């Protein structure tokens, strides 16, 4: 079933099937996200978000999302609560997730109207929240469900890089795939082997933050979350938050340190995290939206020049 053929009545039927007994009023399509279709339903339980994936339709993907979100909640991170999960919804032809709808303004939409003082306050709030996420320690490196685990940070990072390189073309950069592999694996061998696994979000940018009354009320979309080296999260942060707002980085880091202090080697791990992010985004966009890939290939080339 394509997006164009999914009518409101189909969504209503899928929701009632997933949540027997719920009384459903109006349903509207929500224009949000790139990897899922979403609708908001008015119900006797309050507004519910109905979500079904477009690209990754393995139900294990949503199981990991649920588990990672709940783990973040244990650390005091404001997150959504889930109402129902259906591994395969026949009406929609895909897995189905029903969760509470978080009313508010995406931070990205509010950004332009924020004055400099409010932006710095936002950076501090965001730093403390990311610190809470990263302060959630894991029993292993890998996914939160424990279906794929690694004994230490180096083993995890080597496997992550190999998985991304396996999807990359041979001529990904001027150094070729082999040159990228050699440089990344050398850098990974320099990571402190005693690094502890931390919960990571995997997609930290303003669009995944809901604001109410100007404050961060909810962190969304933990679908890429893992127990990993926490500084992998800085690839997305540096690109989507601080590249255009460098003055906010120090406020973020000071607030972050209040909750989850940085170790001495944090800067080298951030540089490695940025390189892994550039590799991952290069491969991702070559598959889905090729016109966005060149900027990440350039970033990877720049990292290689200084490696």
Asked, colleague to colleague, whether 3-100 and 105-306 share their fold, the answer is no
Domain spans, the chain? 3-100, 105-306
Confidence (pLDDT) at 56: 83
Confidence (pLDDT) at 5: 54
Contact 122, 216 (CB under 8 A): yes
| pLDDT per position as a tens digit, 278-290 | 999 999 999 989 9
| pLDDT per position as a tens digit, 70-99 | 999 999 999 999 999 999 999 999 999 999
User: For the structural domain made of 3-100, what CATH number should be given?
Assistant: 3.30.200.20
| pLDDT per position as a tens digit, 48-57 | 999 999 888 8
pLDDT over threshold 60, residue 122: yes
Beta-bridge partners for 43:
24, 46
Calculate what percentage of the chain has a pLDDT beyond 70: 97
pLDDT tier at 292, thresholds 50, 70, 90 = very high
Confidence (pLDDT) at 33: 64
CATH number for 105-306 (one of 3.90.1530.10, 3.90.1200.10, 1.10.3720.10, 3.40.50.2000): it is 3.90.1200.10
pTM: 0.94
């Amino acid at each position: 079933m394509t997006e164009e053929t999914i009518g409101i009545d189909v969504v209503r039927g899928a929701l009632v099937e997933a949540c027997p007994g719920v009384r459903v009023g109006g349903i509207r399509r929500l224009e949000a996200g790139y990897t899922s279709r979403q609708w908001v339903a008015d119900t006797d339980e309050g507004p519910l978000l109905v979500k079904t994936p477009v690209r990754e339709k393995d139900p294990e993907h949503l199981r990991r999302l649920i588990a990672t979100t709940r783990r973040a909640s244990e650390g005091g991170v404001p997150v959504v609560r889930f109402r129902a999960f259906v591994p395969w919804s026949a009406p929609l032809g895909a897995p189905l997730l029903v969760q509470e709808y978080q009313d508010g303004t995406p931070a990205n939409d509010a950004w332009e109207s924020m004055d400099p003082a409010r932006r710095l306050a936002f950076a501090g709030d965001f730093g403390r929240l990311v610190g809470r996420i990263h302060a959630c320690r894991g029993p292993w490196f890998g996914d939160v469900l424990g279906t794929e685990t690694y004994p230490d940070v180096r083993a995890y990072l080597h496997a992550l890089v190999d998985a991304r390189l396996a999807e990359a073309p041979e001529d990904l950069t001027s150094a070729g795939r082999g040159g990228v592999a050699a440089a990344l694996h050398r850098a990974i061998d320099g990571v402190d082997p005693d690094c502890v696994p931390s919960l990571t979000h995997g997609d930290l940018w303003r669009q995944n933050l809901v604001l109410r009354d100007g404050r961060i009320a909810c962190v969304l979309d933990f679908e890429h979350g893992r127990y990993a080296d926490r500084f992998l999260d800085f690839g997305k942060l540096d690109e989507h938050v601080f590249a255009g707002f460098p003055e906010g980085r120090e406020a973020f880091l000071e607030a972050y340190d209040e909750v989850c202090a940085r170790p001495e080697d944090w800067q080298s791990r951030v540089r490695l995290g940025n390189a892994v992010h550039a590799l991952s985004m290069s491969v991702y966009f070559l598959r889905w939206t090729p016109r966005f890939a060149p900027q990440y290939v350039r970033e990877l080339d720049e990292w290689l020049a200084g490696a």
